[in-house]
Structure 1
Amino acid sequence: MLQDVAARRPPPGIPASAIDPFSLDFLRNPHPAHEALREAGPVVWLERYGAYAAARHAEVRQILNDPATFCSSRGVGLSDFQREKPWRPPSLVLERDPPEHDRARAVLNRALSATVMRSLRARFAEAAEELAETLARKGRFDAIAECAEVYPMMVMPDAVGLSKEGREHLLPYAATVFNMFGPDNELRRAAVAQMAPHVEWISAQCKREALADNGIGAMIHAGADAGEVTRQEAELLVRSLLSAGFDTTVHGLGAAMRSLAENPDQFAALRADPSKARAAFEEAVRLETPVQTFFRTTTRDVELGGATIGEGEKVLMLLGAANRDPRKWPDPDRYDIDRPTSGHVAFGGGVHMCVGQLLARLEGETLLAALARSFARIEPDGEAAPLLNNTLRGWTRLPVRVTAA
């Protein structure tokens, strides 16, 4: 396939780039390449994949806000579902276009509404305080393995209504899903090789009889009881929550802890006013954007950034690059919890805006506020190890040292 696409050439006037946004070197540190792609032009041709890419904020927002032209139903990864069989039944929200998308999303929106988040807040805050106090006593710990991964697992499985057994499948399953959006590279092949037990457990958990009666999963299945979706569609909607509701939050929390550890003045500002916890989380996901990329496919000839793109072309949105575009953000590489972050695309945008954003923000706000109350200081305590995933940005190890308040 790569040989075929390498022979393709972009239309005149569109800059071509040899950058591979799925190479290991790129994934370890994408920011220099992001800058190169932004400065090359509003639309760039990726020679390796025979696909277009948008790295500037304005063009990414245009794509997100025009789902009729830049569709999701042909796959949000490199694979085109019109030409290749999907590796799993497509997501009813991520990989569907309106109006089919809207019918299913309405069920998820109700299960993940602001009202439901208010009902979870006290429970989430209590767990955050418990974890923060434990970590303050430890003094030194891995902010990923002992915090960013622990906190979502303390609160989310029970909120969804999952069984107690087998929860260790949740994080590997989500990492597998996000690797599958990339090309047929080493990361994707490794994901395929180990996915079977995780997929099997997740599939079983999505069924109504496996879920507790008082959780978010049961609320989704209530949509099937009411005839808004079929029972099979309800299972796919629960699957969507389990696919995107864990790893993304883990890496958002990791980004926040890394940013606060490396910017003591910002942690001091948060500690002085823990009500800034939501802003501290929001700025961290802008800066490090846990979901770095998604593709769309054009449904017609369209002009983007002054370039004409034909029908049936894959266009890569570099969400992480857009979130550091100096055309949108002054001093974009700086972590500033007082920065107005409205308009960032860490949660996507338009009709496909992340349906679980309220849940992620609740987790980010409650945990960071608890850490601000429990820690007098947080600082790096060794070298961080970057996550290597075709879609996600984060760390697998983030050693920190804290002083208890």
Structure 2
Amino acid sequence: MRVSAAPSADRVTLEQLTEDPYTVYDRLRVIGPVVWAPQLDRFLVTGLDDCRFVEANEDLFEIEQEDSPLKRAMGEVMLSKNEPEHGVERAAVNPALRPKVIAEVWRAHFEANAARVLKRFRRLGPGADLNADFALPYAAMNLAAVVGLPDVPWTAVQRWSLAFIAEVANVQGDPRVSEANDIANAEADAAIDQRIAELAGSADPSMISMMLRAGLPPDLVRANAKLAISGGVNEPQHVLTSGVHALSRHPDQLASVRAGEYTFAQVFDEVVRWMPPIHTLMRQARVDVELNGVMVPAGSLVWILLGAANRDPRHFEQPDRFMVSRTRKPHLAFGSGPHICAGSWAARSSIAEVAWPLLYDELPGLAPVDDDARFHGFFFRGLPGLPVTWNSESDK
């Protein structure tokens, strides 16, 4: 294959990606599979195969960067590390998040939290915001349990999560964002340290406990607990509301699910393909690399565009359509390879096995008040709000 310089997408900006990434992805595919974006100072990779290649080859594309936004926000987290360091920390976390542990331990917590939040949500009545009044507290409560902070209020977990992800996305260095992140780090570190002390000589199935049992030092326990907090609220929260939004726009598909023709597990897989809660992963070229005919110079920053890869027309028929009946194919909503999202099974269980079935059973006619709700965000993308209605007569 002839190797050439990357074509340039001179007008692509972070603002455009935040407002409407899919229109940008369509433009990028026309320009080329690997594109240089001068205003972002990065190479952008859109194809599923190319994105997977970049993720899989740490000898060519390293995850650690001199100014890693993950390090800046939370410290020496495992997602900012290459192998073998990453693998050591990931192995310490995995026992708390295995499907068997989720089914035997955490699902009961998810069910109790869902029932608790639904009780309050139902009292708010039609017009309540499914995002702020159900998905957010539900995800934060679940996360506090799994991480190992059962006594921390969900509102604190939510605030920390928002501060961490805001700092990850703080590419312009807003000092107000950094200050909020510093406060969140101090509060979270104090809560985690208290829990570490409480777990001395004992154990439970939580992430903090498993990391301690594996011998990780306190600074890595703190960092990786905060990493879980950064994505463990935002991602399931947005998947939950994105699914209700999508099903409301496709009532025939919702009817098929309710009739048992398809499952909520299939809904989950299509939602995260169609509207992944995270749209990019960051890498840096270790050496000069040829990627699909384009030369990526050593030291260059690269964005793996997960949202674009999940709608790659070479892999998915009618990729922009939401179709629960779609034949399941591998996608990159949770990444791939050694860095694949550790919490994916917990998210599937809490949403597809617990939240969606409960909501549709207990709130007949559940649907958004406004069918034109708009998604927002690029690093983390979802619905800022989703007021919903239902047949409130069923509550009497």
What's the TM-score bracket when you normalise by the shorter of the two chains? 0.7 to 0.9
* Residue 280 of structure 2: aligned partner: 293
- Structure in which a larger fraction of residues adopt strand: 1
> What is the letter of the counterpart of residue 401 of structure 1?
T
For 1:222 and 1:140, the matched residues in 2 are separated by: 44
1:236 correspondence with 2:226: no
The CA deviation at 1:176 is 3.0
Q: Note closer, same or farther for the CA distance 1:190–1:146 as it changes in structure 2 (3 Å cut).
A: same
Between the aligned partners of 1:43 and 1:184, the Cα distance in structure 2 is 22
1:268-283 aligned at under 5 Å gives the runs: 268-273=255-260, 276-283=263-270
Alpha-carbon deviation of 1:134? 6.1
| 8 Å Cα contact 2:262/2:324 also seen in 1 | no
Structure holding more helix per residue: 2
Q: What is residue 345 of structure 2 aligned with on the other side?
A: 358
What's the CA shift for 1:132? 4.9
Matched-pair contact (CA < 8 Å) for 2:74–2:164:
no
TM-score by length of 1: 0.85
Code of the residue aligned with 1:262 in structure 2: it is: R
Question: Residues 91 and 240 of structure 1 are in contact (CA less than 8 Å); yes or no, is this contact kept in structure 2?
Answer: no
Note closer, same or farther for the CA distance 1:231–1:154 as it changes in structure 2 (3 Å cut): closer
Is the aligned partner of 1:198 residue 2:202? no
Contact 2:143 2:229 in 1 (8 A): no
CA distance 1:60–1:152, shift in 2 (3 Å): same
Q: 1:188-218 CA deviation, whole Å, 9 max, x = no partner?
A: 5552242232221111222202669535144
1:88 Cα deviation (Å)? 4.8
Name 2:72's counterpart in structure 1: 87
Letter in 2 for 1:108: V
2:362 maps to what in 1?
Answer: 374
Displacement, 1:108? 0.6
Letter in 2 for 1:284: V
**Could you say which residue in structure 1 is the equivalent of 2:172?**
185
Give distance in 1, aligned partners of 2:242 and 2:286: 35
Asked whether 1:54 is paired with 2:45, we answer: yes
| Contact kept? 1:264, 1:379, Cα under 8 Å | no
Aligned twin of 2:388: 400
The change in CA–CA distance for 1:167 and 1:147 in structure 2 (over 3 A counts) is closer
Tell me the distance in 1 between the aligned counterparts of 2:203 and 2:224. 16
CA distance in 2 between partners of 1:289 and 1:393 (Å) = 7
Sort the Cα spacing of 1:386 and 1:185 in 2 relative to 1 into closer, same or farther, 3 A: farther
Aligned partners of 2:9 and 2:274: how far apart in 1?
A: 24
- Contact 2:139 2:237 (8 Å CA) reproduced: yes
Identify which range, 124-133 or 65-74, moves more after superposition: 124-133
- TM-superposed CA distance for 1:163, in Å, is 5.0
Distance 1:141 1:88 in 2: 32
* 2:7 aligned partner: 15
AA paired with 2:217?
T
Q: Output the TM-score relative to the length of structure 2.
A: 0.87
> For 2:83, which of 98, 120, 126 is the aligned residue?
98
- Would you say the 8 A contact 1:170–1:242 is kept in 2? yes
Gap change, CA 1:56 and 1:175, over 3 Å in 2: farther
Return the alpha-carbon distance in structure 2 between the equivalents of residues 379 and 260 of structure 1: 9
State yes or no: 1:43 paired with 2:55: no
Hey, what does 2:236 align to over in structure 1? Answer: 249
> How far apart, in 2, do the equivalents of 1:191 and 1:316 lie?
23
Give CA deviations for 1:300-353 in whole Å, capped at 9, x if unaligned. 221111112121111111111111121111111111122234311111111110
Q: Distance in 2 between matches of 1:218 and 1:93?
A: 14
Contact residue 206 and residue 239 of structure 1 kept, 8 A = no
Paired position in structure 1 for 2:373? 384
Distance 2:198 2:188 in 1: 10
Structure 2, gaps ≥5 residues long: none
**Could you say which residue in structure 1 is the equivalent of 2:107?**
121
Counterpart position of 2:210: 220
Q: 1:230 to 1:127 in 2, by over 3 A?
A: closer
- The aligned residue for residue 5 of structure 1 is none
Superposed CA offset, 1:332-381 (max 9, x none): 11111222343111111111101111111111212112223234433331
Aligned length: 383
What's the offset of the Cα at 1:391?
1.0
Deviations 1:30-77 (A, max 9, x none): 2111111122211000011322110121211111121221111226xx
Once the two structures are superposed, residues 223-243 of structure 1 have per-residue CA deviations (whole angstroms, 9 ceiling, x without a partner) of 35xx3x223222222222222
Matches of 1:392 and 1:179, distance apart in 2: 10
How many angstroms apart in 2 are the aligned matches of 1:363 and 1:21?
Answer: 35
Are the aligned partners of 2:144 and 2:152 in contact in 1 as well (CA < 8 Å)? no
CA contact under 8 A between 1:148 and 1:250: conserved in structure 2? yes
CA 179–327 in structure 1, closer or farther in 2 if over 3 Å, else same = farther
The reply on whether 1:168 has 2:155 as its aligned counterpart is yes
1:384 aligned partner, one-letter code: A
Rounded to whole Å, the distance in 2 between the matches of 1:158 and 1:12 is: 51
Q: Displacement of 1:87 after TM fit?
A: 2.1
